[in-house]
């Protein structure tokens, strides 16, 4: 494995960074909004599943309900 000098490493990093396609402000905003929507949907789903399972366990164990 060939050793890379610090100067060569920095040059390679700059070349790779130039290849990156950065998102626009609008794309970043839309993606962020979609993440929040998906988090809310997942949290709601797991809350409902937890409540149903909790009710089922309470009924099976006779702890009221």
The 10s digit of each residue's pLDDT in 33-44 is 999 999 999 999
Asked whether the beta carbons of 31 and 23 are under 8 A apart, the reply is yes
Distance, in Å, from the CA atom of 47 to the CA atom of 50, rounded to the nearest integer, reads 5
pTM (two decimals) = 0.65
Q: Name the H helices within the chain.
A: 6-19, 25-61
Q: Is the dihedral of CA 57, 59, 64, 65 positive or negative?
A: positive
CA distance 7 to 10: 5
Distance CA 12, CA 21 (A): 17
User: What does the pLDDT read at residue 63?
Assistant: 75
């Amino acid at each position: 494995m060939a050793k890379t000098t610090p100067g060569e490493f920095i040059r390679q990093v700059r070349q790779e960074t130039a290849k990156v396609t950065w998102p626009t402000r609008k794309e970043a905003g839309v993606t962020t909004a979609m993440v929040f929507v998906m988090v809310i949907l997942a949290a709601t789903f797991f809350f409902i599943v937890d409540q149903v399972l909790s009710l089922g366990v309470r009924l099976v164990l006779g702890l009221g309900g």
